[in-house]
Structures are given as structure tokens and as C-alpha cells.
Structure 1
Amino acid sequence: MFNFLVIPLTVLGLTACSEPTASAVAQDNALEQAVQAESRQDTNKARDKFRNPQQTLAFFGIRPNMTVVEVSPGGGWYTEILAPYLKQDGLLYAAHFPADSSSGYYARSRQAFVERVTNDANFANIVVTEFAPFSETEIAPPGSADMVLTFRNLHNWYMNGGDEAVQNAFLQFYTALKPGGVLGVVDHRLPENRPDTDMASSGYMKENFAVAMAEAVGFELVERSEINSNPRDTADHPRGVWTLPPTLRLGDENRDTYSAIGESDRFTLKFVKPKTD
């Protein structure tokens, strides 16, 4: 069941192998413009130094003519970049919380996002779908997406449903992607030498656990990146990842210390759905 709300390659002489093509330069410029756009909220832009959106999306290989699924977009932090970037030549599915969710928070979050799609010209042409790890709805038509992106979501699925929830999520992504399509994953990183039980409530996930869950449904790991790493983060804070900015759950207690650490240490993983499927 699919529930939704519809709101020339130039060769540069003998140096072509080492110099970017004209189309690649244009794509890079378009992504930079989307990141630097005045339409983005100032509070969101302030977090670019921690989230590195331009470098992250470039690492995943995004292009403006792609069909992209953003999973659990929340208030639209990444959507502010993706929507205008894909508006002309691509397509963006925003797989938000289910419309019939019994959670008041989920319902309010989805409603606020839908209102923004309706009223914000920069969010025009987004297709709002639904996602939950155990849902039977489709995040996009099967085999239609060039790229699926999830930013800091795995820990939520794991804390609410364990291994099965994470694996079910990855299976939905696999189904939505075309053969050769890319899955981009970013989440808070728990050191590999820590007990697995630390993933249960800390908000941090082991990178190799994420890889194993993705590979279990058929994905192949293409590359890891340290774009979003933060060596100052020890991942052992009293209120988990929410001890750090932007949440700062301890309030004024050791606020300067946690602010100096900055946002969490994060892994950035690029997977592909094999073309042989």
C-alpha cells in the first residue's frame, strides 16, 4: 500500500581524467547554492559545521536529477537543502511518521511538516509518504529511487525495536531502491570496544552493527567516511548523546564543557544495492 500526499558531458582535452567535467562542476555548484541558500533557517545553518551537509551529500554522490527518499525528515533540516536541489530535475520523497500514529509527538511533527510542504514554496513538489520500521506502507514505489538517505535515525529504531526494527528499516530501503541505487547512513557512533548493551538507551550505535544490518538484507558497503567525526566526543555522557548540543539535556550543568565538545561523533556510510538484483 502506497500512502502519499502530493503536495552534455564535456571532455576537457587530455586532462579529462583528472579534471571535473562541466556537468560535475555544475552539480557541485548547485549543491553549494542549496546549502548556502538564504531560504534556509539561520538556526539550521548554524549547525552546518557539525553536520557538514555539502560534504556529506557529495560523498553519497547525490545529483540534481535523482529520485531521492529522505527517511524521517523531522522538521526538515536536510529537506531545506534537498527540496530546492531536486526541485527542477529530480524528485524528493519525504518518508515521515505514519499519519495514523498514536504518538502525539509523531502526529504533531508530521502535521507541521505537511503544513510546510503546503505553504513553503521551497518545499513544493515534495511527495510525503510514510515510514515506520514495522509499517507495511511504501516509502516510495518499489525500485524507483536512486538514493535513500537516513540521518541520525538508527538509534531510535533500535531503542524501540532492537535488531528487527533496524533490519526491517533497511529492507524497506532496499525495496525502494533501483539496482545500483545508493543508501546513505549517518548516526551517532559508539566505540566498538563498548558493550552492545550501551546501544539500548545512549543514542549511540556501533558502526559495524549498522554495516551488518545493511548487509543482512543485501546491501554492499561501498565506502566509509569521517566527514562527520568528532574525536572530542567520548560517547559516555550521563544523558547519552542528548547531553551534547543541540539538546544539552543537563541544562546549565557543565554546559560549557559539553558545548566545547560540540555535536556527537558520527559515522557516515555509503551502501549500494547490487545491480545484479
Structure 2
Amino acid sequence: MLQRLTANRLACLLMAGLVPTLAPAQKAPDVENIVQEAMAGDHRSEAHRARDDARHPAESLAFMGWRPDMTVVEVWPSRGWYTEILAPITRENGIFYAANFAPTADRTPGWRKRQHKRYMEKLERRPAVYNHVVATPLAIPERTTIAPPGSADMVLTFRNVHDWMQAGYAPAMFDAMARALRPGGVLGVVEHRAPPGTSVAQMKATGYVTERHVVALAQSAGLSLEARSEINANPRDDHDHPAGVWTLPPTLRHCGQVLDNMRRDCKARYRAIGESDRMTLRFRKTP
């Protein structure tokens, strides 16, 4: 019937409310494009840009399910590689907590206090990019509230689980992340990946952690594994290096220990492998 109505007649019916209208479908945000725009910002250092191809931030955040209106927590941002991306994309509509080292905690070593200071100075240098970032202290067991409990839509941590294992407080860190999440919220984990069967002692020594171990830590904190991705996999990495994961770029620790005349070849060898093979896991807090 509607096809036989004239345009004027149809307009009159619509104005009178006699013909139902359909609300336009809400367009999903183009996450990868939003992230790539942030990656192109002039606030990023060239050293950090050089890691983009290895770390796949646009694809990783799309896999995690990030949206512009989310409350997001980044745990242990270190020098702020991911902060350079997360801060711009949360600025307009989201909330961004950076749960960094706690400089006043009793057991915080000096190098972490210095790194925290450098991170805060980084935020202060570019207020137009970072002045909305809420920095929260995180230290086990003194400071464990990384955001208001139950407030975060998403908690993210990148290449930190092995550090927590070495320090002996990985379960407590997962508990802290789970407490920050709202019911149904997402925990995203990227971590150096060890082959199945690797012992806990080997994980602590090499920095590579099995997926099974990370899943067990998350499940113990009340989180369920929802999906895995190979976005950050590296088949060239055989996981067997003289200085563990730190042999590979960007650290190249082993090459600093060889003779000067062998250093160039050493760096070229490990740069050809690239950054570590990594798991990318998405967990969800049970509603």
C-alpha cells in the first residue's frame, strides 16, 4: 500500500503519526580506525611507534571489545606505551584509570619509584592528551583499589603477569583487577606465551607464561575465559633464548653481554625474530 502513496500523502500520514517509523540502527564504532588515529598522534615517540607492527594495538583493542564510552583501567602502564593510545581514545566519552606503581608503598623498589615519576612527568608534559587520566597507586598488599569497585567496563594488562609471578603476588593482582570490574566487565590480558608443560620455575626465569597458568589465575579470581586470539602470536619465536624473553627486542639484554665486535650480529639475529610470541586472552566477570 505504501508504494502507491504519493510523497506528499505519505509525509502527511507520517506527521499525523498514522505510519510507523523505524529508528535508525546505531552504528557500531570503528574501533580499529579510532585507535589508528590515536597511534598517528604527534604525542607518541618514534621509539614507541617502532613497536606498532609487533603489538597490533588496533586489532588487540577491537578483539577486547573496547568502545569509546567505556571506563577502562590499564594496569602497570610502565613507560606508557599503551597509555599513549588509550588516553586519546578515552578522552571524549570514556574514563581512564592508570594503575601504576605506588611510590609511597613500603616495598616499592627505587627503580619503580623512578619509573613512576617519569610516567607522571609524561602525563604532565602533554595535558591536552593526558589531563583526564586518573592515576591510581597499585602495590600488593598495601594499595589494591585500582578503580572504584565494580566500576570498570574493561581492565587491560600487557606483558605483566610474569613480573607478578616473580614477585609472588599474581593471584592478588588478578583479585584486584576482578574487584574493579563491573559484573559482565572484561579483563584483557596480553602476555609472553610459554609452550604447554613449562614449569612455574621456568616461567619465572624466562618471562614466558603458559596460557593454562594465566587462565587458572583468572578463574581463581572469578573470571571466565571468553575468547583467545592469535593477533600477537609470533611463530618465529621458539621461546628458547639465553636471557629469556628479554633476549628479544626491544630489550635485547643478551646482546649487551657479548663482545663488542659481536654485538651488531647479535642484535640483527634477535631483531629478525622480532618481539615475543604472545597470548591474547579475553575474560569476563560473571554477571
Report whether the alignment pairs 1:227 with 2:235: no
Q: TM-score w.r.t. structure 2 length? A: 0.85
Alpha-carbon distance in structure 2 between the residues aligned to 1:195 and 1:23: 43
For normalisation by structure 1, the TM-score amounts to 0.88
Q: Do the aligned residues in 2 keep the contact of 1:83 with 1:124 (CA within 8 Å)?
A: no
**1:118 matches 2:124:** yes
Instruction: Give the Cα separation in 2 of the matches to 1:69 and 1:250.
Output: 33
Identity of aligned residues (%): 46
Q: Give, in angstroms, the shift of residue 33 of structure 1.
A: 1.0
Larger Rg: 2
User: Does 2:113 match 1:107?
Assistant: yes
| Superimposed CA distance per residue, residues 134-174 of structure 1 (whole angstroms, 9 cap, x where no aligned partner) | 3343100100100000000000010111xxx1111111011
**1:264 aligns with one of 276, 279, 283:** 276
Compare 121-130 and 111-120 and name the one that shifted more: 111-120
Amino acid at match of 1:22: K
Correspondence 1:30 to 2:34: yes
Report the secondary structure of 1:73's partner residue.
coil
Q: Which residue of 1 aligns with 2:167?
A: 160
| Residues 47-56 or 117-126, more deviating | 117-126
Aligned equivalents of 2:193, 2:41: Cα separation in 1: 30
Q: 1:195-274, aligned counterparts within 5 Å?
A: 195-251=199-255, 252=263, 254-274=266-286
Residue identity matched to 2:97: Y
1:105 maps to amino acid: W
**Which deviations, in whole Å up to 9, do the C-alpha atoms of 1:238-260 show, x marking residues without a partner?**
10011111111122162221111
Partner secondary structure for residue 179 of structure 2: helix
Match of 1:74 in 2: 78
Indicate the SS of the match to 1:138.
coil
Distance 1:144 1:210 in 2: 23
Q: Does 1:97 pair with 2:104?
A: no
Alignment partner of 1:49 is 2:61: no
Partner of 1:149: 156
Deviations 1:63-121 (A, max 9, x none): 11111000000111000000010011111100000121441111111111112222212
Distance 2:212 2:190 in 1: 13
Q: Residue 206 of structure 2 aligns to a residue in which SS? A: coil
Q: CA deviation at 1:272?
A: 0.4
One-letter amino acid of the counterpart of residue 160, structure 1: A
The alignment covers a number of residue pairs equal to: 254
Query: Which consecutive unaligned segments of at least 5 residues does structure 1 have?
Result: 1-8, 12-20
Bigger relative contact order, structure 1 or 2 (CA pairs below 8 A, ≥6 apart): 1
Runs of 4+ in 1 over 6 A off after TM superposition: none
CA shift, 1:124, in A, is 1.4
AA partner of residue 271 (structure 1): F
Unaligned ranges ≥5, structure 2: 1-22, 256-262
